[in-house]
Chains A and B, each alone.
Chain A
């Protein structure tokens, strides 16, 4: 029988592949008329990280998180900091044999309370992330997806059922930025955030501010207003400083003043938890939105103190959004 073309239904690109062709994500291949994922149980990056590195700040602070990634990504961001794995075929990375059962076993062995699917793009290694997440839940571990959120609704909802928290990279707030810099689209990512909210996933958002490309404070204000209106004011937002990488090495690092201006804008729009990343000397503490007291004090990825009591401010009793135990 002649092998047929197949259409991948995982992400909005919906690559239609003739036999022997590879999808835009580099990891899904039409072999004899069947769509095969080449990265199931084969991570190319395996680390134990502080959870603050993801970053997720309102999720089991001060704990370790078992972090895995495979080759490939369905976006092609010109500023990707992990392009050496995200923009590579799995045949060209050094992979480890780590099936879902081994992920859970290793996470427990290393004293982790959760598993992160991160570094490259978990939506691209969907089946591996989903099956590992299901087993992790059974073993009492939590799951965090660190993702660009570029996925179709049906698989996303399936993954959400075994996901506790996510850090979604909201890379910009115009379709043009997503099209020209990332090879994706904004509408899909916004829909992903809405679906995660509906499915009860605790969301944090990261916005990397790139000079000249997405540093317009008017757009940053629009983005913050959308977050407050659609997801609520309790979603932690991380503004991250850009450093020249990959195909954007000609740009300069984001000035600290730009990052701080963005933080001020986000606060004025009503977001309660706004953090600044990659800027030395700027605190990343969690403050109580009720009384302003410092609740979680951080230096780099280290938690110096955590004063939360059952997820509440010990001084005024305000409940702080997050997963604390």
Chain B
């Protein structure tokens, strides 16, 4: 949408009363679309992103027995430093 309010045949047209609500509706729609897209993107955890654990908390929970720490069977040391 442009700010030009000149019609194709060069006639100057006055701003219609309905334009402002229309613009507001378009703006709100765009904002909502962005919000929805952001929400959808948040759903998928990026593969590279592995959240840090509160390791002290986890170790305490393991000690208390509310979690059971056991070495996993399928893993290897990664090559990258």
Contact = CB atoms under 8 A, between A and B. Distances in A.
A95 B77 contact: no
A228 B30 CA distance: 46
B16 interface: no
A199 interface: no
A24 B72 contact: no
Contacts of B70: 36-37, 40-41, 127
Given A37-B70, A95-B66, A31 B58 contact: yes
Interface of A: 4-10, 13, 15-18, 20-24, 28-29, 31, 33-42, 76, 78, 90-91, 95, 97, 99, 126-127, 152, 154-155, 183, 247
Nearest to A95: B66
**Max chain B C-beta neighbours (<10 A), residue from A36, A95, A97, A183:** A36
Contacts of A37: 69-72
Contacts of A40: 68-70
Contact of B72 (A13, A28, A76): A28
Contacts of B76: 6-7, 9
A6 B77 contact: yes
B76 to A, nearest CB: 5
Nearest to B76: A7
A126 B74 contact: yes
Given A8-B75, A152-B74, 11 more contacts: A5-B77, A9-B74, A10-B72, A17-B78, A21-B51, A23-B50, A37-B70, A38-B62, A38-B68, A41-B68, A42-B66
